[in-house]
Structure 1
Amino acid sequence: MYNSRPLIFIAHPLLGFVLDPLSEHYEALPLWVEENKQRLAEARVLVVAGEFRIEPALIDAMPQLGLIACFSVGYDGIDVPAMRARGIAVTHAMDANSEDAADHAIGLILAHRREIVVGDAKVRSGGWSNGSKALTRSLADTSLGIVGMGSIGQAIARRADALRLHTCWWGPTEKPDLPWPRADSLATLARDSDILVIAARAHAGNEKMISAEIIDQLGRDGLLVNIARGQLIDEDALIARLQDGRLGGAALDVFMQEPTPPARWQNVPNTILTPHTAGATDAAIATMMTMLRANLDAFFGGGRLPTPVT
């Protein structure tokens, strides 16, 4: 006889760590176990990581589905209007990791401009044997451009103020209450920035918004930082410009394909790469777990969802 607790499915192995805590209150089944798919028709909730696309066939196989609970902040893999049309609510983790993602962005900037990773390798390899010191670039009076001025973009800008950077930003929506000026266009922002940080929410309409032309505006002395989504950048154009020197450098936490193939970056100079960890801290994950539980409890209890995607 099946468990009487509400049945929910966990969509991705990446979220395997939520199975045990959720199983204390729900019958939580991993979707990646083939035999569990026999019970898809019973499930009312699907827990997902927002960067992964949900196939329509999966939704069709879950006729009782009433909630897609996105563990992460981003939900670009979910066709929200299509779900809404089917009467399926979507929730996410709001701005649970905004401060931590901003910390990571600043860390990438500091690591690249001050050559911290290069310096570490030099010490470990014996390259510092003569006691010489390499000159690195100061952040003082540097122009920082931020693409996307939501909670993460604003958190980056606040930190940039303390680091003596001059911040400007661009996004499709004007925000007159912000203290940082908005550029006329993305191209203008890239042209006028020494460092360009991508903090925008990804959606179907802005794929590869950081195009070859935008990268060229940033130029051979510019640094491109991405802690948003890999699909926002034309990655092939980025790699080509790093290899031939038309772009000064890149610091990336996200990629078109994840995990990104190591060989793709083997001969790409002036880069710092991290494995999509900008928002993955102990505090952020704990907050996301709390939000997920709150949304599940509200859904099954007939209450108001605390963090719906609107």
Structure 2
Amino acid sequence: MTIEILQTGPLLASCEKALAERYTVHKLHEQAAPSAWLRENGARIRAHAGSGVQADLMDALPNLEIIASFGVGYDNIDTRAAKARNIRVTNTPDVLNDAVAELTIGLMISLARRIPQSDQFVRQGKWPNANFGLFSELTGKTVGILGLGRIGKEIASRAQAMKMRVVYHGRSAQPSVPYVYYDNLEDMARDADWLVIIAPGGKGTEKIVSRKVLEALGPKGAIVNVARGTLIDEAAMVELLQNGGLGGAALDVFENEPSVPEALFSLDNVVLSPHQGSATNQTRDAMGALLVANLEKHFAGEPLISAVV
């Protein structure tokens, strides 16, 4: 008897192909009446592939054994409810570290040198009549990293290659890393030229980058967010970018994405990206392969590769 699994949204084509080769896959997002389908078929589902699973869906899947999430972040899965129901949860860490770290440095250089704006300057035919201007560089600057986990460490090593000084803030100091630890985020922001956010999302970190932190970063400081939009007080950030209280922002994520505050569109001290942190073919293929591998391990009764719960 084949194992029946559920998707509630589309996944990468290579991942969907691998799932279909191994399991009977049901796609709830393609059902005309999802609630009715769950009532009739939910008891047959043993696994969920994807993300965005809350307690109400778990209740509709009484025999659910595992949620294999596509992505390293799992703040959109109710892990407490999963644990209470003895449902395993996995994610796809490590395989996306390099891609996110590369984009982070790319965003920093783009903001420092105004690369998107200079591209438009040339395309709009302005170069023959004016010089574009002088901006900044990363060399010699201090970058404060909020969240020195797997990806944070990759960003740190690349920042050092750019001749930057690296400091960090997290829940606790890591004695094995060669960077200065700050136990107070506001203090780190005050001492840094750049603040890079790569901490997990969720209630525990919501608006951790407060107005006070942004003001401490100041009119010559810049913020980079490649984590979750909810970590920043977005309204305060927009206001400070507009009035000069904050020097610049390079943002790959937003509080209510794909909705982006329109006020950001007209600002020259901002670089915007549509949540592209892991968006490379090789990384997304690796993420899909890890999702499938976790399911295979579970149904073979073997230890999970990347268990969250």
* Normalised TM-score (structure 1): 0.93
Shift of 1:303: 1.7
Comparing 84-93 with 38-47, greater Cα deviation is found at 38-47
Secondary structure of the equivalent of 2:81? helix
Amino acid of the structure 1 residue aligned with 2:287 = M
Q: Give the aligned partner of residue 43 of structure 2.
A: 41
What's 1:6 paired with? 3
Which whole-Å CA distance do the structure 2 matches of 1:262 and 1:224 have between them?
A: 16
Tell me whether 117-126 or 269-278 shows the greater mean CA deviation.
269-278
Deviation at 1:300, TM superposition (A): 1.6
**How far apart in 2 are the matches of 1:9 and 1:184?**
43
The answer on whether the counterparts of 1:242 and 1:269 sit within 8 Å (CA) in structure 2 is: no
Aligned to 1:274: 273
**Which residue pairs with 2:247 in the alignment?**
248
- Aligned AA (2:44): E
2:29 match:
32
What does 1:61-76 correspond to in 2, within 5 Å? 61-76=60-75
Equivalent in the alignment of 1:178: 177
Any idea what SS the aligned residue of 1:129 has?
A: helix
Which residue identity is paired with 2:43?
A: A
Deviation at 1:164, TM superposition (A): 0.9
Contact 2:54 2:77 in 1 (8 A): no
Q: Could you tell me which amino acid in structure 1 is paired with residue 181 of structure 2?
A: R
The amino acid across from 1:215 in the alignment is L
AA aligned to 2:211 is A
Corresponding residue of 1:23? 20
For the aligned residues, what is the CA RMSD? 1.6
Q: Secondary structure at the match of 1:266?
A: helix
Q: Whole-Å Cα distance in 2 between the matches of residues 90 and 155 of structure 1?
A: 25
Distance across 1 between alignment mates of 2:265 and 2:95: 34
The CA deviation at 1:211 is 0.8
CA distance in 1 between counterparts of 2:8 and 2:168 reads 36
Matched, 1:107 2:106: yes
Give the equivalent residue in structure 1 for 2:198. Answer: 199
Structure 1 unaligned spans of 5+: none
Q: CA deviation at 1:132?
A: 3.0
Q: Secondary structure at the match of 1:205?
A: helix
Give the total of aligned pairs.
303
Q: CA deviation at 1:64?
A: 0.2
Identify the residue that residue 154 of structure 1 maps to in structure 2: 153
CA contact (8 A) 1:147 1:170 kept: yes
2:165 pairs with 1:166:
yes
| Higher RCO structure (Cα 8 Å, ≥6 apart) | 2
Aligned to 1:212: 211
Q: What's the TM-score once normalised by structure 2's chain length?
A: 0.93
Q: How far apart are residue 82 of structure 1 and its match?
A: 2.6
* Percent of pairs with identical residues: 38
